[in-house]
A and B are shown apart, each in its own frame.
Chain A
Amino acid sequence: MTLAIEMKHIEKSYGDFHALKNVSLSLEAGKKLVVCGPSGSGKSTLIRCINGLESFDEGDVLIWGERLEPKKMQKLRSEMGMVFQQFNLFPHLTVLENLTLAPIWVQNTPKASAEARAKEMLERVKMIDHVHKFPSQLSGGQQQRIAIARALCMNPKIMLFDEPTSALDPEMIKEVLDVMLELAVTGMTMVCVTHEMGFARQAADRIIFMDAGEIIEEGTPEEFFSHPKTDRAQLFLSQILHQA
């Protein structure tokens, strides 16, 4: 099978802080990977290294076998969608303009077809009624669904989710997770940093557990939830499941 993402021995430090220690992973096309772990364990840094938002000190990232390097960065990024914890919609643009900005300027799509595709994507995330609104007029959950639609407008083959539901009110989490689950069954390659264990159980092919910049456990959701191998993962799971 083709490898969509491959990370080889990534090392990353912020000054004295060792954020990523010899992290390696690979993900086949169409698979879903969930990354979890306590805060500060390097999950976000890891996912941000995949599309080069974060630089790393050593190691290699390969996307579809191509090395992620400054020259190819823009092209590879345009083929990967990313969804942020804080949505990061462009507040000065309407929903429709948010969705068509990159297709028009990066892919040179004609405006009309970019808008047609944008509306298709809005239909998919059930936000078609809000085409001409500004982000500030929408709730968090709605904004995050728009952000997902914005990423999908670029026709990505990989989607990266960096804690997409962490900034949401509890009753809005479901609407975003539903969109992500629907996306998962379409065969999209997905990497998702999340604490939503329900989502992980339902959608993930594989789970990675990180602590202090290292991947300390890796397995299927089945294995991870019923027989966590390390004490750290056991503790994490018991705390997170208690909370829920």
Chain B
Amino acid sequence: MSELRVLKRVKKIDRAAWFGQTTLQKVINGVLILLLLACLVPVFKWAVIDAQIRGSERCVTEGACWVFIKVRLLTFAFGFYETHELWRPVFVLSMWTLALVTIFRASYNFTLKILPFFITLLPLLSWGLLDGRWFGLPYIETAKWGGLLLSLMITLVSLSMAFPLGLLLALGRMSRLPLIKAGSVAFIELWRGVPLIAVLFMSSVMLPLVLPPGTEVDKLIRVFVGVSLFTSAYLAEVIRSGLNGVPKGQGEAASALGLGARQRLFLVVLPQALQAVIPSLVNSCISLFKDTSLVVVVGMFDLLGTVQQANTDPYWLGYSTEGYMFAGLIYWGVCFALSRFSLQLEKVRNV
């Protein structure tokens, strides 16, 4: 009801805003709109009107050749994962989607209770299923995982590890013990000061030199660890800002009721702090998802990587515009969904 009323009011204001302009403003706005159309019309013509999607051969039309995307769609989605085992990545991604939907629908306090299970169980289950060996399924090495699957796995698994670590770092930075405080500050400042691309290089090139010869850690696990450590530093600062924002009286009221330090934190202060920083947390998630495209530099094929690789296929030469546009749309779609998700989470808050 009230939302409808607000919408109506907004419409009314818009109309008033247009007719209330001076002639000069109308002219400027009109020209701007024409310019915008002039840019969009050719794009629309290329991408939709002149485009071709039927068939599986190279296109003959002037417009976009979406056939290229169509024949490569599985690779863009899952990389070089065995085709007859594709139910595994599909299952894993559905699991994560279900978890996100649960968080989306459940009350905030319930979410806080199930979150620890999600962030410990889901990464392990995902790894087990995709890798296969733990469950007696055919082994599929991580080098074959790719496409959007890889981008999402790096994001979700790294976030699951980075969140608890970031929380610890935030608490550490606020600690009264000088050693813990200094350690946390040093960790955060070190990782925030290094570009992600350097972290990825370090984890794939330098780490094996440091480790004793013979020990081999899977490249993807090294990427998980590197990205987690990197992200945890950012999350730590976001969480700390939330903790600082909770009024002092809240902790005092909890103390006065006889709650201990840990209960104070987990029952009273932290729930309020996290709720206040949901937009910043989602912001970090979006950045991380887009940054996963950097794993190309260590020879992994995430969504962007598979697209770039397909672009170099001699048979499909000349269709890189379509490829990049498709990748861009997918990245945009996921990020947009995330930001809607965050808006909804904010609305649920009662503070």
Contact = CB atoms under 8 A, between A and B. Distances in A.
| Binding partners A and B | yes
Interface of A: 51, 53, 74-75, 77-82, 84, 86, 88-93, 101-102, 105-106, 134, 136, 147, 150-151, 154
B258 A84 contact: no
Contact of A92 (B254, B255, B258, B275): B275
Nearest to A53: B252
A150 B254 CA distance: 11
> Which one of B247, B253, B260, B350 has the greatest number of beta carbons of chain A within 10 Å?
B253
B60 interface: no
Contacts of B259: 74, 101-102, 105-106
A160 B202 CA distance: 58
B257 A102 contact: yes
A133 to B, nearest CB: 10
A89 B260 CA distance: 17
Contacts of B75: none
Interface residues of B, number: 23
Contacts of B247: 86, 88
Given A92-B275, A105-B267, A75 B258 contact: yes
A88 B249 CA distance: 6
Given A88-B247, A101-B267, 8 more contacts: A77-B255, A81-B256, A82-B253, A90-B253, A92-B275, A101-B268, A102-B259, A136-B350
> Which one of A80, A81, A90, A101 has the greatest number of beta carbons of chain B within 10 Å?
A90
The DSSP consensus for interface residues of chain B is: helix
A92 B350 contact: yes
B249 A91 contact: no
Contact of A91 (B252, B254, B267, B350): B350
A74 B271 CA distance: 22
> Which one of B256, B260, B268 has the greatest number of beta carbons of chain A within 10 Å?
B256
A92 B257 contact: no
A78 B253 contact: no
A91 B268 CA distance: 9
Nearest to B256: A82
A93 B350 CA distance: 8
Contacts of B267: 101, 105
> Which one of A78, A88, A134, A151 has the greatest number of beta carbons of chain B within 10 Å?
A88
A106 B261 CA distance: 12
Nearest to B349: A92
A79 to B, nearest CB: 8
B151 interface: no
Interface string B219-251: 000000000000000000000000000010110
Given A102-B258, A102-B259, A134-B350, A84 B252 contact: yes
Contacts of B272: 90-92
B215 interface: no
B351 interface: yes
Given A101-B267, A134-B350, A90 B250 contact: yes
A189 to B, nearest CB: 16
A151 B252 CA distance: 13
A77 B257 contact: yes
A91 B351 contact: yes
> Which one of A89, A102, A134, A150 has the greatest number of beta carbons of chain B within 10 Å?
A102
A136 B351 contact: yes
A94 B228 CA distance: 35
